[in-house]
Amino acid sequence: MHKKINKIGIALSMSILMMSTPAFAADASLQEIKFSIGQTQYIVGSMTKDMEAAPYIKDGRTMLPIAYVADAAGIKAENIQWDGSTKTVTIFKGDSIVQMVIGSREMKIDGRTITMETVPEIVNGRTMLPIKYIGDALGVDVQWNGVTKTVTVLTEAPVIAAAAASEQTEEAVQWDYNYDQMLEMAIKSSKDLKKQDKLLEKQEELEDDAAERFKSTNSIPREIATGDGTKQTTYRNLRSQQFAVEKAGKDMETTKESIAYNLKSAYYGVLKAIQNEKLAKMGVALQNDMMNQTSSRYQYQMVSAYENDKAKKDYEEKKKQYEMTVKALDSAYEKLNYLAGLEPKARYTLDDYVAFEEIQEIQWDLDTHIPTVINKSPDIWALEQQIELAQMAIDLYVFRSDGNYETKKIDKQTTQIDLANTKQSYEESLRNLHTNLDVLKKQYDVNMLAYEKAVDALKLVEKQLEVGLAIPLEQKQAAYQVEQLKIKLDQAIMDYNVSLYAYEKPWAAR
């Protein structure tokens, strides 16, 4: 069961590598906290404070009670949670969530697992943690002085906020890849394209051979249906190879378009997973505050035991949901990495700007768009070519060497049925995509209205908070609602763009 740190007296501790300490540069934006091995007092700036657990060295690691470091880093006691049933410590710092289990070398930072060299342990009722890893998690700098056996922790002073805010106003946005760069990587790494390139090369060689054999028969006379059938056979073979070459070229283009479609879907899949993880993290922090509020009200008998227990279960549920979004993000990255030819564990930032892709007015007219797409479809082109070759097999039929004449006619008829079915399938698919695009656009408009209302509500709560008519929890709830609707808007655009690609080139999505 989770309890506040000030009720159960949990103090966390960390360790650092034994190392000599370089001199600190004077920086008014940083605050120094000094801990001495074996001493139950520590120094914050010019003030000396008491603590209940003294730092110590174990296996070459300095173990330090993190509760005091966390406090200096601006982490409130209620944002440090202890679960006695699983012996798990959870720390909330801004948008970050850090979790450690007593006796385990694994530490999770925002769902990512880091293996530590030293396990957290409990000494005299206090949780002691290795500072080498938790220092980064808390955003603090740690230095060890082996001569004085002193640990100095540098945390950001309040004045840092202004500088950070200034940096955030910079227009330059940094990311590792955008969609076009990822697409280029995917095309270069595609094994299917490499295979098809070889097949095209093979078909071109076979076409050259067929052309040479056909030339050796001189030319086709006006009346072909007589003689031993050599000219008919070589000519049909040449036309078949010409078709095979052209189809191999179209197959390569279709594969590139399929890669573009699948990559767009996977690229957006990562962006969605990042957004979902961010929202889930906000949900955990919000539910944590709601649980603490309910717990406080329960102590004063303002809510029932049922409501108090429900708040705790809701918090656990939010944590599980967050863990699921972390796994979903890993899965989304792995899918994109596979397409782009990257290692499965590769992680990077993506250009997350999304906007509706434009569609020409003529494309929105189904009566025009459907026949246009059918005329461009490589599937339908291939079937039409197969019908032409089947007709040629009938027209240039060679008795005794071409098998059953009736089967040639049946081959043509079955291909014509396939062509009709494919055209019908395209038409049905395009009409469904047209409807889906229309629904997505209208849903976006509805969500935009809801988003604008949520923004107005947030502004109102912020003003009420300034004059004491609202509490911070209400502001966090309103901010969560705004973020939730903003994500809905972005993801509606992503879904629209993927559907639009399929609407323009349905063969790429088949």
pTM to 2 decimal places? 0.69
Query: According to CATH, what is the number of the domain 177-353?
Result: 1.20.1600.10
Report the relative pairing of strands 121-123 and 2-3 from DSSP bridges.
unpaired
Length of the chain: 510
Residues of the chain with CATH 1.20.1600.10: 177-353
Decide yes or no: CATH 3.30.457.10 for domain 2-157: yes
How high is the pLDDT of residue 5? 35
Residues of the chain with CATH 3.30.457.10: 2-157
In the block, tokens 């649980």 appear at: 291
How high is the pLDDT of residue 23? 38
d(CA 383, CA 417): 10
In the block, tokens 């027209």 appear at: 395
CB 491 within 8 A of CB 272: yes
d(CA 321, CA 270): 17
Nearest to 11 by CA among 127, 103, 121, 140: 127
| Secondary structure of residue 222 in the 3-state scheme | coil
d(CA 398, CA 408): 11
Tell me the pLDDT of the chain (510 aa) as tens digits.
333 333 333 344 434 333 333 433 345 457 788 888 888 778 887 777 777 778 888 777 788 777 777 776 777 766 777 766 677 788 877 767 788 888 888 888 877 788 887 788 877 667 777 777 767 777 778 887 777 788 888 776 543 333 333 344 444 557 899 999 999 999 999 999 999 999 999 999 998 988 888 888 755 554 544 455 677 788 888 888 999 999 999 999 999 999 999 999 999 999 999 999 999 999 999 999 999 999 999 999 999 999 999 999 999 999 999 999 999 999 999 999 999 999 999 999 999 999 998 888 888 899 999 999 999 999 999 999 999 988 888 887 765 556 677 888 899 999 999 999 999 999 999 999 999 999 999 999 999 999 999 999 999 999 999 999 999 999 999 999 999 999 999 999 999 999 999 999 999 998
Where is 257: in which H helix or E strand?
helix 230-299
Give me the amino acid identity at 12: L
Beta strands in 180-321 (DSSP E): none
How high is the pLDDT of residue 92? 76
How high is the pLDDT of residue 385? 93
- Tell me the CA end-to-end span of the chain in Å, nearest whole number: 51
Per-residue DSSP letter, 367: H
CB 8 within 8 A of CB 80: no
Where is 144: in which H helix or E strand?
strand 141-145
Where is 250: in which H helix or E strand?
helix 230-299
Nearest to 77 by CA among 310, 313, 309, 292: 292
